[in-house]
């Protein structure tokens, strides 16, 4: 790339931002418009918002609240619906890894929170995703107490299974799948954990009860159901496949049937 080794003097951009502002959960919210100059193409989207916030601070207004932490695409804290897309326009990219070189001088950008009944807005662009924790608390684990584990290599795992489990385990729990889904379904998130543990021998003893408990909790939290739009996969920053949802549906059927059988 020609810019890689010469001086980086690409022009700074001017942007118009429509940003969702909401004081608290119970208060009404609205889009507010800001104009921003001097945005470098090398900034991440969140660094662009940092610049906006410094500007708001200087003019005596309250900065925009948004969740973020690692800024390297792994903690799952950042969110944002950017021009209608969860995590913005770049495939398999979290908002914190989205760079402004993806945008152009003069662009108008709308920034909203992840929206779902199960993700209430706390302030501005910050939402409450604790429903995900409660779904995992219902069964997203292997019940093994510290100290009781057998020697690690006593349980071989076929490499293709381990790789598939890792594909599913890569989920960062950001909630983009929910925000992208027309039904605000959490099925991709739940399916990723169900798949990881269903694919591994370690997950086998609780295979049936796990999927049933997690799906029931998912329903209690008010998430919708899958109607095969696959917007979740398109929005997922880790490229988690909807094939996991198919696997979860099979697992759920299997689990429901097995749990209906009397235990001997």
Partner 1 sequence: MSAASGSSALDPKIPGGPLAERWTRHKFALKLINPANRRKFHVIVVGTGLAGGSAAASLAEMGYRVTSLCIQDSPRRAHSIAAQGGINAAKNYPNDGDSVFRLFYDTIKGGDFRSRESNVYRLAEVSNHIIDQCVAQGVPFAREYGGLLANRSFGGAQVARTFYARGQTGQQLLLGAYGAMMRQQGANRLTVLPRREMMDLVVVDGVARGVVARNLVNGEFERYAGDAVLLATGGYSNVFYLSTNAKACNVNAAWRAHKRGAYFANPCFTQIHPTCIPVSGGHQSKLTLMSESLRNDGRVWVPQRAGDERAPDTIPEAERDYFLERKYPSFGNLVPRDVASRNAKEQADQGRGVGPSRMAVYLDFRDAIAREGVETIRERYGNLFQMYERITGEDPYRSPMRIYPAVHYTMGGLWVDYNLESTVPGLFVLGEANFSDHGANRLGASALMQGLADGYFVVPATIAAHLAGRKLPPVGPDHAAFREAESAARDRTRRILSIQGRRSADSIHRELGALMWNRCGMARNAAGLGEAIEKIRALRAEFWENVRVPGDEGDMNASLEHAGRVADFLEFAELLVNDALQREESCGGHFREEHQTPENEARRDDERFAFAAAYEHRGDGNPEVLHKEPLAFEAVQPSTRSYR
Region 81-140 residues binding partner 1, contact defined as CB under 8 A: 90, 92-93, 97, 99, 101, 122-123, 126, 128-130, 132-133, 136-140
Quick check: 212 and 257 in contact, CB under 8 A?
A: no
Interface stretch with partner 1, choices 110-118, 151-159, 180-188, 246-254 (CB under 8 A): 151-159
Task: Give min distance, CB of 159 to partner 1, in A.
Answer: 5
Asked if residue 151 binds partner 1 (CB under 8 A), the reply is yes
Q: Which of 33, 35, 42, 256 binds partner 1 (CB under 8 A)?
A: 42
Q: Which of 80, 95, 196, 251 binds partner 1 (CB under 8 A)?
A: 196
Asked if residue 149 binds partner 1 (CB under 8 A), the reply is yes
Task: Give min distance, CB of 3 to partner 1, in A.
Answer: 7
Query: Residue 187 to residues 55, 131, 180, 213, 244: CA-CA distances in angstroms?
Result: 39, 13, 12, 14, 9
Q: Which of 15, 20, 52, 73 binds partner 1 (CB under 8 A)?
A: 73
How many residues lie near partner 1 (CB under 8 A)? 86
Rounded Cα distance, 241 and 249, in Å: 14
Count Cβ atoms within 10 A of the Cβ of residue 54 and give its class: 0-12 exposed, 13-18 middle, 19 or more buried. exposed
Task: Give min distance, CB of 147 to partner 1, in A.
Answer: 7
Rounded Cα distance, 86 and 215, in Å: 24
Q: Could you count the other beta carbons within 10 Å of the beta carbon of residue 92?
A: 14
Asked if residue 52 binds partner 1 (CB under 8 A), the reply is no
Rounded Cα distance, 96 and 70, in Å: 8
């Amino acid at each position: 790339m020609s810019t890689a080794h010469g001086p980086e003097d690409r022009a700074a951009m001017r942007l118009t931002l429509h940003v969702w502002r909401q004081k608290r959960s119970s208060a009404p919210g609205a889009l507010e418009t800001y104009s921003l100059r001097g945005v470098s193409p090398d900034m991440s989207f969140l660094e662009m918002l940092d610049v906006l916030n410094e500007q708001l601070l200087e003019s005596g207004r309250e900065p925009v609240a948004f969740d973020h932490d690692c800024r390297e695409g792994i903690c799952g804290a950042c969110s944002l619906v950017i021009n209608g897309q969860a995590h913005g326009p770049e495939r398999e990219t979290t908002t914190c890894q989205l760079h402004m070189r993806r945008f152009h001088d003069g662009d108008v950008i709308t920034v909203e929170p992840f929206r779902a009944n199960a993700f209430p807005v706390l302030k501005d662009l910050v939402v409450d995703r604790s429903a995900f924790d409660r779904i995992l608390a219902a069964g997203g684990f292997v019940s093994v107490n510290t100290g009781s584990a057998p020697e690690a290599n006593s349980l071989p795992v076929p490499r293709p299974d381990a790789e598939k489990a890792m594909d599913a385990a890569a989920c960062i729990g950001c909630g983009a799948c929910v925000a992208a889904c027309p039904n605000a379904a959490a099925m991709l998130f739940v399916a990723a954990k169900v798949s990881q543990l269903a694919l591994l021998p370690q997950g086998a003893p609780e295979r049936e009860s796990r999927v049933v408990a997690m799906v029931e909790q998912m329903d209690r939290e008010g998430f919708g159901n899958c109607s095969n739009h696959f917007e979740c996969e398109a929005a997922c920053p880790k490229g988690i496949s909807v094939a996991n949802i198919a696997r979860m549906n099979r697992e759920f059927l299997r689990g429901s049937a097995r749990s209906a059988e009397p235990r001997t």
